[in-house]
């Protein structure tokens, strides 16, 4: 079966899947460990992340055909470089998000423990 679609549509779908995986990873990291349901939720998120990653890999395996001879070898190399740059940026973003999440959670816990001072009115 031959499916005709533009490469930009496949790329946008790939970016969407990438964004979903990143968001699910952030959510999974935010689940507290002290709840009974935390293990189940983390497993569920992990299965969904793996499923989306599989879809993303399937998109990368698609073969691209062209009716014209406008695609040259240098354009293919440029495409590989662009993909590698995007992949590297994604990996760096994920690596930066994980340490920040723990420090943000610790800051939020400290902030929530403090009670706000209310003004005292004398009558």
- Structural domain includes residue 121: no
Instruction: Tell me which residue has tokens 């929530």.
Output: 112
- Structural domain includes residue 36: yes
Number of domains in the chain: 1
- Structural domain includes residue 81: yes
- Region of 18 (left: φ > 0; alpha: ψ -120 to 50; beta: rest) is alpha
pLDDT band at 69 (very low <50, low <70, confident <90, very high): very low
Identify the sign of the CA torsion 83, 84, 90, 94: positive
Q: What is the pTM of this model?
A: 0.50
Q: Which range of residues forms the domain containing residue 28? A: 7-64+71-98
Query: What's the rounded mean pLDDT across residues 118-122?
Result: 75
CA gap 46, 44 in Å, rounded: 5
Looking at residue 36, the DSSP 8-state letter turns out to be T
Residue 109: phi, psi to the nearest 5?
-65, -40
CA gap 65, 6 in Å, rounded: 10
pLDDT tens profile 48-60: 999 999 998 888 8
Angle at the Cα of 111 (from 38 to 21), degrees rounded to 5?
Answer: 40
- Structural domain includes residue 104: no
- Structural domain includes residue 108: no
- Structural domain includes residue 103: no
SS3 sequence, 4-33?
CCCHHHHHHHHHHHHHHHHHHHHHHHHCCC
């Amino acid at each position: 079966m031959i499916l005709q679609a533009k490469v930009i549509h496949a790329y946008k779908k790939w970016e969407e899947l990438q964004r979903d995986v990143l968001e699910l990873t952030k959510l999974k990291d935010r689940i507290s460990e002290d709840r009974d349901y935390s293990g189940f939720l983390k497993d569920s998120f992990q299965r969904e992340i793996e499923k989306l990653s599989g879809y993303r890999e399937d998109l990368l395996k698609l073969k691209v055909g062209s009716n014209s001879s406008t695609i040259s070898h240098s354009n293919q190399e440029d495409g590989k470089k662009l993909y590698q740059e995007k992949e590297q940026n994604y990996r760096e973003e994920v690596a930066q998000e994980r340490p920040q999440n723990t420090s943000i959670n610790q800051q939020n816990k400290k902030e929530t423990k403090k009670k706000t001072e209310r003004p005292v009115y004398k009558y």
